[in-house]
Amino acid sequence: MSSIRPPVEPVALPASRAAAGAATVLAVEDLSVAFRGAEGLAPAVEGLSFTVQRGECLGIVGESGAGKTQAFLAALGLLASPAHVTGRVRLDGQELLGLPERALDRIRGARVGLVFQDPMASLTPHLRIGDQLAEPLRRHLGMGAREARGRALQLLERVRLADAARRMRQYPHELSGGMRQRVMIAIALACDPQLLILDEPTSALDVTLQAQILNLLAEFKRERGVALITHDFGVVAGLADQVAVMRAGRLIEQGSTAEVLKAPREPYTRQLLGRDDSRQAASPPGSGAGLGALLPVTLPASRPRVSECSPAHPCPTPRLALSGVGVSFPVARGWRRQALRALDGIDLTLGAGEALGVVGESGCGKSTLTRAALYLIRPAAGEVLWMGRSPADLPGGELRRLRRELQIVFQDPLASLDPHLTVQRLVAEPLEIHRPQLDASGRLEEVCGMLERVGLDRSLLTRRPHELSGGQCQRVGIARAMILKPRVLVCDEPLSALDAPTRAQVLALLAELRREQGTSLLFVSHDLSSVQRLCDRVLVLYLGRMAELAPAQALFAAPHHPYTRELLAAIAVADPDIQPARLAQVRLGEPPSPLELPQGCAFRTRCPQASSLCAERAPAWEQTAEDRWAACHHLRGRADDMLLK
């Protein structure tokens, strides 16, 4: 490969760092990892070299499967299968490769701290938090039980886990995802390691929690070396000083974060950054809200707005309308049964050809909303209307026939496809149900046409889902949903299981299908940037309640509801100039349990503007500007908007 540059020599480092007397914590030289497979040795990492300095964070970026994690597992002797590892890995001058298992045991956890992606999987379910934290202290530092407990409590307070003394006695499942990740960080820091390895530390978390965890990690960077493995340049921008980009087991680009993010040399890096040469964002970074400038925006074609209709010109019947929809699930808490109100008082309309985005943290009822809209869950309150007809009043056969007009694309592309069916049968199934008069050859023709539309090759017809990549599976899911040319397409987090480049492709495909067929989109996502690119209007949900509804551009430019503001502030932007400052401003704490909602406004426990009025009664859903609604007692944005007019 001609594109590979020689790894940056320590001599070539910026002078400022050399002057600070930076000490090398980890030096990896020419590391290669290969697995012995059926066809001989399969290389996973080839000739990898990099260094991590004290007080500095090295971000290692690449798509999944690039060998990022494998390299570190190999360096620490953690690869389970008999892999073939060569090269040199020195921790503070000590060679790690070839060390006996016992010596490595003394290093891992003591001199090297590890934080993994999934905090639930890396905590032992049956051990209390305090005991898990005390374990490395007693083992590596030889502390007694009492001393270890005291130190554990200090550590939990240091990672700012709220109510630390009580958390010590709790089990992992009693904590939220963000709290668990704080515990993992506390464990990793327990023995004051020289090197902290973070493997996708925030990928499983919401944007608000991600910002908090990154904020915390930035504090611990000073006294030690940090290696941050991630696929997200936004995370890198806020935390890393140096960046190394990996592709297919090789290092393809390396340099300071500012260099690589602002002026990437490799086309692949540009692609990862979402800055294809074809659609380079022209506006200078740091301008405006900082967001709109960085994200290439596909402007939707103009169409009649719902707000434009008057008594004289009545609105066309919306394709999908929800009024006062509420959904609750029974939850067992110990012996008692309690209703969890997943959705409460949802009003929305989806016009012809419109794209409505629904955003919010996980657990806010986004997925439940899609199921209720499609009448896959029967709402406990309110009414759902499809093209003006209520599915609740339709007989079973009629209901099933009408379902062809509303299709869904799911979050997990593999799970939403029946594993034993071929691509051909999967895509043809809706035709078999709704157009039984079509013969086999006609059906095949339709299927091939649709596959072509979503950019899949005809040769995939006989494949089964597990033989496809994630992106291909999601295309099959979209083909299946679109083959009947439905009037409404509901997308439930269709991008979250996909890699960054695949994400951009699927997003483009959705926009294209919408433009061509005039399909209305209900697009649910926690990824605000993709919502901004695709949608006309955005609904912000907070714990099953509507917080704000506004045209997308207006919402991202000037959010009215304080929750929307905090949500937007938490987005990680791939710009090293502004991202650290953005991180430092994150305020949102943990969301309350949906079973113990605060009285009055649900958001008041996390709201910077909360007053006594917020505790007294819930705010009304009111119009704040043309086409904009919000539920808040302190709508500061409303005044701003008036001024703009």
Partner 1 sequence: MRGSTLAYAVSMRSRRPGRRAALFAAALIVLLTLWAIVGPAASPYSPNGLDWHHLSAAPSLTDGHWLGTDPLGRDLYVRTLYGLRLSLLIGVLATGVSVLIGLAWGMVAGFAGGRVEAWMMRVVDILYSLPYLFIVLILATLFGRDSITLLLVAIAAVGWLTLARVVRAKTLSLKRREFVEAARAAGLTPAGIMMRHILPNLAGTVAVYATLMVPQMITSESFLSFLGLGVQEPRASLGSLVSEGAHEMLAAPWMLLVPASVLVALLLSFNLLGDALRDVLDPAAR
Residues that bind partner 1 (CB under 8 A): 35-39, 42, 44, 65, 67, 69-70, 81, 249, 371, 374, 376, 396, 400-404, 406-408, 410-412, 415-421, 429-430, 433-434, 477, 480
For residue 113, the number of C-alpha atoms closer than 13 Å in the C-beta half-sphere is 26
Euclidean distance between CA atoms 196 and 58, whole angstroms: 10
**Nearer Cβ to partner 1 (122/411):** 411
Minimum CB distance to partner 1, residue 251 (Å): 15
Minimum CB distance to partner 1, residue 132 (Å): 27
**Nearer Cβ to partner 1 (84/90):** 84
**Nearer Cβ to partner 1 (216/406):** 406
CB neighbours of residue 423 within 10 Å:
27
Minimum CB distance to partner 1, residue 66 (Å): 9
Beta bridge partners of 355: 521
**Nearer Cβ to partner 1 (40/334):** 40
- Among 460, 522, 461, residue whose Cα is nearest residue 486: 522
Per-residue b or e along 7-28, where b marks 16 or more CB atoms closer than 10 Å to that residue's CB = bbeeeeeeeebeeeebebbbbb
- Among 528, 490, 622, residue whose Cα is nearest residue 234: 528
Contact (Cβ atoms closer than 8 angstroms) between residue 268 and residue 252 = yes
**Nearer Cβ to partner 1 (249/591):** 249
Q: Which residue has the tokens 């994200």?
A: 295
Minimum CB distance to partner 1, residue 419 (Å): 7
Q: What are phi and psi of 119, to 5 degrees?
A: -65, -25
Euclidean distance between CA atoms 100 and 90, whole angstroms: 15
Contact (Cβ atoms closer than 8 angstroms) between residue 184 and residue 196 = no
Q: What are phi and psi of 640, to 5 degrees?
A: -55, -45
**Nearer Cβ to partner 1 (67/619):** 67
Minimum CB distance to partner 1, residue 280 (Å): 32
Q: Detail the DSSP E strand segments found in 63-146.
A: 83-91, 94-95, 112-115
Minimum CB distance to partner 1, residue 404 (Å): 6
| Rg, Å, the chain Cα set | 26
**Nearer Cβ to partner 1 (275/371):** 371
Minimum CB distance to partner 1, residue 400 (Å): 4
**Nearer Cβ to partner 1 (375/629):** 375
Structure tokens of 39? 């066809």
Q: What are phi and psi of 3, to 5 degrees?
A: -80, -10
Minimum CB distance to partner 1, residue 567 (Å): 27
Minimum CB distance to partner 1, residue 414 (Å): 9
Contact (Cβ atoms closer than 8 angstroms) between residue 114 and residue 188 = yes
**Nearer Cβ to partner 1 (429/577):** 429
- Among 170, 190, 55, 180, residue whose Cα is nearest residue 112: 190
Helix (H, G, I), strand (E, B) or coil at 373: helix
Euclidean distance between CA atoms 122 and 216, whole angstroms: 19
**Nearer Cβ to partner 1 (315/402):** 402
Contact (Cβ atoms closer than 8 angstroms) between residue 323 and residue 347 = yes
**Nearer Cβ to partner 1 (399/558):** 399
The CA angle 60-111-174, to the nearest 5 degrees, is 80
- Among 632, 432, 458, 439, residue whose Cα is nearest residue 548: 632
Minimum CB distance to partner 1, residue 203 (Å): 16
**Burial (CB count <10 Å: 0-12, 13-18, 19+), residue 594:** middle
Q: What are phi and psi of 531, to 5 degrees?
A: -65, -40
Contact (Cβ atoms closer than 8 angstroms) between residue 57 and residue 240 = yes
**Nearer Cβ to partner 1 (89/129):** 89
Minimum CB distance to partner 1, residue 95 (Å): 24
Minimum CB distance to partner 1, residue 273 (Å): 23
- Among 196, 221, 8, residue whose Cα is nearest residue 116: 196
Contact (Cβ atoms closer than 8 angstroms) between residue 235 and residue 210 = yes
Minimum CB distance to partner 1, residue 38 (Å): 4
**Nearer Cβ to partner 1 (36/169):** 36
Minimum CB distance to partner 1, residue 236 (Å): 21
Minimum CB distance to partner 1, residue 103 (Å): 26
**Nearer Cβ to partner 1 (399/460):** 399
Contact (Cβ atoms closer than 8 angstroms) between residue 231 and residue 202 = no
Minimum CB distance to partner 1, residue 536 (Å): 24
- The phi-psi region of residue 30 (left if phi > 0; otherwise alpha if psi is between -120 and 50; otherwise beta) is left
Euclidean distance between CA atoms 565 and 120, whole angstroms: 29
**Nearer Cβ to partner 1 (34/189):** 34
**Nearer Cβ to partner 1 (249/544):** 249
Q: What is the DSSP letter of 607?
A: -
Contact (Cβ atoms closer than 8 angstroms) between residue 133 and residue 156 = yes
C-alpha distance from residue 433 to each of 400, 436, 563 (Å): 9, 6, 43
